[in-house]
Amino acid sequence: MPIQTSIRTRTQQAIDLEERHGAHNYHPLPVVLDSGKGVFVWDVEGKRYYDFLSAYSAVNQGHCHPRLVKVMQEQAARMTLTSRAFYNSVLGEYARTVCTRFGYDRMLPMNTGAEAVETAIKMARKWGYEKKGIPAGKARVIVCEGNFHGRTITIVSMSTDPDSQGGFGPFTPGFEVIPYDDIPALERALEDPNVCAFLVEPIQGEKGVYVPAGDYIPRAIAACKARNVLFIADEIQTGIARTGRWLCSVPDSERDPARRPDVVVLAKALSGGMYPVSAVLANDAVMNVFTPGTHGSTYGGNPMGARLAIEALAIVEDEDLCGNAERLGQQFRSAMQQLVDTFPWVKLVRGRGLLNALVIEPRTAADGSPRTAWELCLLLRDNGLLAKPTHGDIIRFAPPLVITEAQLQECVNIISTSVRQFA
């Protein structure tokens, strides 16, 4: 059947306005969203969709969660920003909440994920010079092929994505890129005495929800500890219940520092999608390399973001979003496996919790029209579900974690129907 891609009037007007005046640094799916509630979003024409992207896992708690809306309104009427020139009445409570929840001594507040990654890199380098004794200017950070940690100039300097790097040099030195999910490669890189840190995603989300071997992260942590190298877990997309536990890199019950990341980077769902909030977590021996004047942010730790983060984490706990993600994620992958078993061009399903991906093989239909992940996402949109390809013909499926079993089954039906229409 032909893929329906018609665009209605209000939608086209909004797209035209953005295309005329906005920078063309994204390629959005042609739908213009106007409101959201829970797992649903509505476009400017009033059509309802299931959101299966969740703003790249930023709205784990669902769109406009009433508790977050209430907290935001109350804090907005009280105080939104002080800068760190003064103490504020919320930051201490926020820091204690995050440190207690994730098991670290200290938290450094920032705003975006990329800022938090930059913070972790700065901290690791300074730790390398002051604690490990690396010669000045020689500290190195190990990263992985296919990584995505943001788009600042330092972060794209360690990227292997041509779109991220092309035309933006010269690049920041001090990084070594190794294959992902390859312990021997990591062990060889760790032989360099000037290595201060290994920065890694527990699951590579932007690469297409690439899940490493089950023992990769524990073995990588152990290898880093053995060489006195900091293990930095980028949990921006995988953390805060998305993969069925608070941190993807370590079981919730594990409190032994020898088996845990030295540094954790959080963002996205830390505020439930209400406000840019990020954080870097570490114990005293690492975090205390920062002293007044060595790092900062005007907005980092502001009362608005801090209050939202406290409530966002409480919602995850109160509504058992870890358990929901684990249980429904298994159901989702089981249903998608049936499509893999039925349609030869549906190649693979992979994921953990409610961070999953379907890998399809691009084809050409009998009428000559393309059959790619992009076209399938357009069909999903027409059938009431929003998802987006990542890295070619891989479709990421990541709904808000508040989704119910009945809603998930309805979404499975939409995806199954769309795949059959697409065959």
pLDDT digits (tens, 9 = 90+) for 112-164: 999 999 999 999 999 999 999 999 999 999 999 999 999 999 999 999 999 89
Q: Tell me what pLDDT residue 365 has.
A: 82
Which CATH number, 2.40.160.20, 3.30.342.10, 3.40.640.10, 3.40.250.10, labels domain 66-318? 3.40.640.10
In this prediction, residues 326-333 reach a mean pLDDT of 99
CA distance 147 to 173: 17
Please report which confidence band the pLDDT of residue 392 belongs to, taking 50, 70 and 90 as the band edges: confident
Q: At 141, which helix (H) or strand (E)?
A: strand 140-144
Catalytic residues: 148, 234, 268
Cα–Cα nearest to 62, from 354, 329, 381, 379:
354
Domains 9-61+321-422 and 66-318 fall in the same CATH topology: no
Residue 368: is its pLDDT beyond 90?
no
Residue 214 has pLDDT above 60, yes or no: yes
Rounded distance, CA 405 to CA 332, Å?
A: 10
Sheet holding 175-178, edge to edge: 106-110, 278-282, 263-266, 230-234, 195-200, 140-144, 175-178
Query: Where exactly are the structural domains of the chain?
Result: 9-61+321-422, 66-318
Is 364 a residue whose pLDDT tops 90?
A: no
Cα distance between residue 330 and residue 356, in whole Å:
10
From CA 305, how far away is CA 117, in angstroms rounded? 18
Quote the CA–CA distance of 27 and 11 in Å, as a whole number: 15
Concatenated DSSP letters of 154-185: HHHTT---HHHHTT-PSPP--EEEE-TT-HHH
What pLDDT is stored for residue 332 in this prediction?
99
Residues 159-186 pLDDT 10s = 999 989 999 999 999 999 999 999 999 9
CATH number of 9-61+321-422: 3.90.1150.10
The pLDDT assigned to 6 comes to 52
Strand-pair partners of 340: none
What's 92's DSSP letter?
A: H
Angle of helix 303-318 relative to helix 321-342, nearest 10 degrees? 70
Please report, for residues 4, 300, 331, 371, the alpha-carbon distance to residue 12 in angstroms, rounded to integers and kept in the order given. Answer: 15, 37, 37, 24
- End-to-end CA separation in angstroms for the chain: 9
Per-residue model confidence as pLDDT tens digits over 29-51 = 999 999 999 999 999 999 999 99
With contact defined as beta carbons under 8 Å apart, do 302 and 82 qualify? yes
| Residue of 105, 97, 114 whose CA lies nearest to 148 | 114
Q: Using an 8 Å Cβ cutoff, are 154 and 121 in contact?
A: yes
Beta bridge partners of 355: 352
